[in-house]
Structure 1
């Protein structure tokens, strides 16, 4: 009799609110942020180093050609067809490879590289350093404030990405956190989380979940930003004082 009573009480008690999509979205977003930082920073630094060389053939032409892409693009439909033709639909690669380099970031890093004294690189070349050694041992360490700013810009951009995933991602297990958050906030998709509660209680739980989800989605950026904020001043002033 006691066992039956415990079972009936257990059936009457509502289940604890839970939503596995939140943790899946977190995992996908962290993957996108990490992959985006690695691709964007590495390719941007390499491209900026090439464009900052003063003796490279067609240097000015390549710079102008790259800058033009900031003002002109083919639009969303050709972009969609290209991604689909490359077989990246419904994969996280569709959120990483097409955005591996941003022209604005490339121009910032190139300007920072140009502001470095050329004597440093010339002395390294006299000592036998090749371009890779010069980049890794001299250029990158002296440009860390600017690179840190690019890392923060890229991380925030990938963290807040929702429109492009909504176009290329149909598998719900690949949804980033912002798409899950959008469903909760706009589509009021809190039924699975507040399952087992009454109408009034479910409404209160839904509102609480919305506010809690906003905080959860904002906290990582708020924690990282103070540690990189000091680099903004250095990145803005780099090259302003020359010895």
Structure 2
């Protein structure tokens, strides 16, 4: 595996042990995906790399790229809804295009990526427990650039990335949930002190505003904490001595 030896001067086991440690120490999704791409550039015979994440509602997020050409190719597929990236996200199958210049399945994509100087493309799904969380994409300027060793290393890298990204996303979600609880608690405290109501009543007021304004409860609480009032059909503010009736 020449890419690994040239890049690290270490054997494969050492390289992925180092990767596992770095991913474990990464702070959040952004640092995690950046670390994955940097390892990809050194461990696989590729010239560009990218990582796209699947979001709720079928939305695709361009999480990290090593160059603007990758972002251009990603965005084309997101805009048109077709291309090897889209197929990998939908089916979870590895997509290897040995020469984009002769690819006929996605004509617009093939023309664009060839114009940008990329020929070999490898998309690997980031999959944990049958859930596809994203795609790792590797590119080369040369046709048929990836050998069996590159393919094997890329798949190992994708497995590490899938677990690391899933863990980082879960931790971010948990942190947001903790922050939301803190905000709601602070907002309830403001209402309880201002209107001399108990906790249940304060929470009912917040929930009513959330429903009436179609605003997330966290955002309602944040507004109250920041401004000490709520702009709504039945406002709570310093000039209002009684809270609105809860439903």
Please report the TM-score for the alignment, with normalisation by the length of structure 1: 0.28
Q: Which has the higher helix share?
A: 1
Q: Which has the higher strand share?
A: 2
Relative contact order (C-alpha < 8 Å, sep 6+): which is higher? 1
Please report the TM-score for the alignment, with normalisation by the length of structure 2: 0.28
